[in-house]
Amino acid sequence: MHITNLISQYFGKFAKKEFPSFFQKFINNTYVKIFKIDMSEFRNAKYYKSLTDLFTRELAIPREINEDENSFISPSDSFITQSGSLHKETLFQIKGMEYSVEDLLTYYCTDTFPMVKDGKYMNFYLAPSDYHRYHAPIDCEIKKLIHVPGKLYPVNLKYLNKELDLFVQNERVILECFSDNKIFYMVFVGALNVGQMVFDFEPSVETNTNAKDIKVIKYDDLKVKKGQTLGYFKMGSTVVMVWEKDSVELEELLNQKVKYGQKIGTLK
């Protein structure tokens, strides 16, 4: 097991521990203050029983989302670190740091590689202060889930600029999705101190364990609606979305903050 996995497991144990209420309130308020978290859409920090409970908080005030049926919305509150067109089969984790979409999606997606070649992609970085739940970006059908064990390097800008193939090295969960017969992928990338990535529709997936083998789950009729909660990160991390060639027109959002529910692109 890599040192990043061990660190993350120990942090996960601390984060999910429920301390006496007076001490937990101090921990929660300190975390909110250090990371300058806007809690206006959530319950008061004192009501969360652990740091994990605070990390994975649900919205207390429903979020308005873009309802246009052909619009993709941001799956999460995040910062767009990279966005654009694949150059044949390569994309960027950050400017100047390219990697292969085949390495990202693994050989279990071999049949669809020609479809995403020269397609579009967008990287969503979730900071520790962000809302950590992720949602369906459009009405779609999930055909396949692929869990790839790996390391848990940090995914902040510092590491994106220095660690080659970071998204390929790190543990990740890949969702193969179809909307209007057009394929797109959502890749949920683990990171340092991300105790787990949780998927509401697939409780059998366990991340940040001692697993070594890739796990593939196929679905016959798993349809989700735009805005539906898919799951959550237990701490900040990254989502990478990859679209089929000529299937989407993306908004110009590079180096901008986006909110879950905000339009990020239009299905062609």
Question: Collapsing DSSP states into helix, strand and coil, what is residue 99?
Answer: strand
Which residue(s) pair with 243 in the sheet?
A: 120, 184
Residues 6+ apart with CB under 8 A from 2: 151, 152
Cβ(81)–Cβ(87) below 8 Å: no
Annotated catalytic residue 135: yes
Catalytic residue (one of 71, 77, 78, 147):
77
Annotated catalytic residue 87: no
Catalytic residue (one of 71, 74, 83, 237):
237
Catalytic residue (one of 8, 83, 132, 135):
135
Which helix (H) or strand (E) segment is 183 a member of?
strand 182-189
Nearest to 169 by CA among 108, 213, 103, 214: 103
Annotated catalytic residue 21: no
What is the chain's Cα-based Rg? Answer: 18
Nearest to 46 by CA among 18, 27, 71, 67: 27
Active site positions, annotated: 77, 135, 237
